[in-house]
Amino acid sequence: AQSVTQLGSHVSVSEGALVLLRCNYSSSVPPYLFWYVQYPNQGLQLLLKYTSAATLVKGINGFEAEFKKSETSFHLTKPSAHMSDAAEYFCAVSLTGGYQKVTFGTGTKLQVIP
């Protein structure tokens, strides 16, 4: 079985500061990993995904994440926060091979302080 743990249900950063949202995964086999963003009253939007190619993955809106197998981590970063980044972020994992469901973390709400 696979799972993800997101550390910190709420994160606050100042506008222009580094954004770091943490995600650790548990998987018995190499996983696929994803980050999604959800704005109020909307569905989730895919930010980026890791599928065993490059370990540093670049996504939309200036976000990127690095897959670190030794740390079983897939943290999401952005060098400079914008007010428009305020949203809830979800890390997700799926096993490779076969028809595997996608399991989501519990989410991290990002607040950007002007």
Partner 1 sequence: KAGVTQTPRYLIKTRGQQVTLSCSPISGHRSVSWYQQTPGQGLQFLFEYFSETQRNKGNFPGRFSGRQFSNSRSEMNVSTLELGDSALYLCASSLERGDYTFGSGTRLTVV
Residues lying near partner 1 in the complex (CB under 8 A) are found at: 32, 34, 36, 41-46, 49, 90, 92, 94, 99-107
Which CB sits closer to partner 1, 44 or 112? 44
CB of 16 to partner 1, least distance (A): 30
User: Which residue, 78 or 107, is less far from partner 1 as judged by CB?
Assistant: 107
Nearest distance, CB of residue 114 and partner 1, angstroms: 26
Nearer to partner 1, 77 or 100 (CB): 100
Instruction: Tell me the closest approach of the beta carbon of residue 14 to partner 1, in angstroms.
Output: 27
Alpha carbon 62 to its chain centroid, in Å, reads 13
Element (H, E) at 108: strand 108-113
Q: Do the beta carbons of residue 76 and residue 67 sit within 8 Å? A: no
Least CB distance to partner 1 at residue 83 (A)? 22
Side-chain half-sphere exposure of 46, counting CA atoms within 13 A:
9
10 forms bridges with which residues in the sheet? Answer: 109
CB 30 within 8 A of CB 52: yes
Gap between the Cα atoms of 11 and 17, Å rounded: 12
User: Residue 65 or 92: which CB sits closer to partner 1?
Assistant: 92
